[in-house]
């Protein structure tokens, strides 16, 4: 039962990420719109991005070695989180957060394997600040999952 919660949360995050990328990148064809597609201007815009590094374009590398290294790291982290949550008496909330992290990580792994980079399309700007970075829902799931695992790890303060 416990593993089911983890798997369902991971599958949901993975499916939502991949579906959103398909719709925005291939159906809306955001790459054909150089200025992006305004969704809730100026707060949310769809802008096409190819991320060969990690969040916010850090560790950009165009080499095949960098690509496969990032795939291996993502897979290792996903397996590590899965095994950790499987072996411990993790709460339902922890299993959901772990699933979000794993599903998001695997969504980005699929992109790297298929395209050689991660498809990004979300851009958020506000209050006169023009944010140049783009991200995707997998990044949101990874961040939310990691934050949830840290904040709700079930340990009581000493």
Residue 158: pLDDT band (50, 70, 90) is very low
Kindly list the domain boundaries of the chain, sorted by start residue.
1-152
The closest of 80, 79, 54, 48 to 67, measured between CA atoms, is: 54
Question: Each residue of 4-56: pLDDT tens digit?
Answer: 999 999 999 999 999 999 999 999 999 999 989 999 988 999 999 998 876 55
3-state class (DSSP) for residue 115: helix
**Residue 45, φ and ψ in degrees, nearest 5:** -135, 140
Q: pTM of this prediction?
A: 0.90
Active site amino acids = 120, 139
Judged on CB neighbours under 10 Å (0-12, 13-18, 19+), 104 is: buried
Across the strands, what pairs with 158?
A: none
Helix (H) or strand (E) holding 69: helix 64-87
Length in residues, the chain: 158
Contact predicate 134/121, CB 8 Å: yes
């Amino acid at each position: 039962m416990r593993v089911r919660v983890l798997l369902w949360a991971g599958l949901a995050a993975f499916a939502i990420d991949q579906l959103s990328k398909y719709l925005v990148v291939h159906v809306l064809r955001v790459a054909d719109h150089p200025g992006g597609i305004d969704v809730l201007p100026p707060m949310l815009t769809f802008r096409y991005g190819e991320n060969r590094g990690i969040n916010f374009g850090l560790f950009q590398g165009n080499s095949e070695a960098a690509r496969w290294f990032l795939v291996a790291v993502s897979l290792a982290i996903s397996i590590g989180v899965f095994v950790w949550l499987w072996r411990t008496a993790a709460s339902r909330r922890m299993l959901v957060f772990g699933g979000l992290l794993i599903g998001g990580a695997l969504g980005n792994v699929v992109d790297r394997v298929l395209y050689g980079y991660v498809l990004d399309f979300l851009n958020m700007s506000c209050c006169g600040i023009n944010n140049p970075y783009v991200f995707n829902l997998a990044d949101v799931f990874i961040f939310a999952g990691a934050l949830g695992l840290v904040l709700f790890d079930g340990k009581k303060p000493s």
